[in-house]
Amino acid sequence: MADQRVEFKTGFLCAWTSGLSEVGQQDLRVQVASDDLVEPSVILLRVISAYIKTQERRITIGETFQYGSWN
- What are the pLDDT digits (tens) for 32-59? 444 455 555 665 666 666 665 655 555 4
Distance (Å, rounded) from C-alpha 36 to C-alpha 19? 24
pLDDT confidence of 26, banded at 50, 70, 90?
very low
Question: Where do the structural domains in the chain lie, given as residue ranges?
Answer: 4-61
pLDDT confidence of 11, banded at 50, 70, 90?
very low
